[in-house]
Amino acid sequence: MKIGKVIGNVVATRKDERLVGYKLLIIREMVPDGTGSLQSVEGAVGTSVVVDLVGAGVGEMVIFCSGSTARASAGDGRAPIDGAIVGIIDTVDVY
């Protein structure tokens, strides 16, 4: 699992039928910066479109997973999902 921040929404009126009903969000991965804080991973490598399984919103810090773990989290494992939000973070302590 990884930490991310929701930075936007994705609306796709035409998509794979197995994605119908899922809310899609854009997240930016966050990593410890060595000073006890988190910083965003900049650029395309740190940004992903993920399925929201927990009702997250823009600006919230979240826990997300990717790959087969994301597909399994979303249900039957057949949907073309590579990333899923599985938790909303209340606090983070980095030491």
Extents of the domains making up the chain: 2-77
pLDDT band per the 50, 70, 90 thresholds, residue 94: confident
List, for residues 68-83, the tens digit of each pLDDT value. Answer: 999 999 887 788 999 9
Running DSSP on this structure, what letter comes out for residue 56?
Answer: -
Q: Determine the CATH number of domain 2-77.
A: 2.40.50.220
List, for residues 17-40, the tens digit of each pLDDT value. Answer: 999 999 999 999 999 888 888 888
Question: Using CA atoms, how far apart are residues 84 and 81, in angstroms rounded to an integer?
Answer: 7
pLDDT band per the 50, 70, 90 thresholds, residue 5: very high
45 pLDDT higher than 90: no
